[in-house]
């Protein structure tokens, strides 16, 4: 059970990541959603699950078996280095103006992302 409070993560929505362990090992995808307090992340095309969905005519939604992404543990993915395309850790650098930027630990390249 996750504790109350703010947990921080170095991976953000929209980042390119690679799954480093589990049944989807080696898959690359974009981060769709992050839940830092729970330590979970949703990656495009990884952790696919099937859900049986009842038809709902009010929402104009058909029924059947739908396939969608499930949350995976954030420790099971690694950020992709924008320069080399390999998994990397992330560090922060603070500029002279006080701006904090994410930097790939391997190559030293700045990782662009929405703030």
pLDDT of residue 12: 92
CB 72 within 8 A of CB 19: yes
pLDDT of residue 7: 75
User: CATH topology for 16-82?
Assistant: SH3 type barrels. (2.30.30)
**Side-chain half-sphere exposure of 55, counting CA atoms within 13 A:** 5
Residue pLDDT, tens place only, 24-59: 999 999 999 999 999 999 999 999 999 999 999 998
Classify the C-alpha dihedral 28-30-32-33 as positive or negative: positive
pLDDT of residue 3: 57
Asked if the model's pLDDT at residue 115 lies above 60, the reply is no
Quick one: average pLDDT of 53-79?
Answer: 92
Residue pLDDT, tens place only, 76-106: 999 999 888 899 999 999 989 988 899 998 8
Residue-range domain boundaries for the chain:
16-82
Quick one: average pLDDT of 1-6?
Answer: 58
Asked if the model's pLDDT at residue 5 lies above 80, the reply is no
């Amino acid at each position: 059970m996750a504790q109350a409070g703010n947990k921080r993560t170095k991976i953000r929505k929209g980042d390119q990541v690679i799954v480093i362990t589990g049944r989807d090992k080696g898959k690359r995808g974009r981060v769709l959603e992050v839940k830092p307090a729970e330590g979970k992340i949703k990656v495009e095309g990884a952790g696919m699950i099937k859900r049986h969905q009842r038809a709902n005519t009010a929402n104009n939604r058909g029924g059947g078996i739908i396939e969608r992404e499930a949350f995976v543990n954030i420790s099971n993915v690694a950020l992709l280095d924008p320069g080399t395309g390999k998994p990397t850790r992330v560090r922060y650098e603070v500029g002279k103006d006080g701006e904090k930027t994410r930097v790939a630990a391997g190559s030293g390249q700045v990782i662009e992302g929405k703030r």
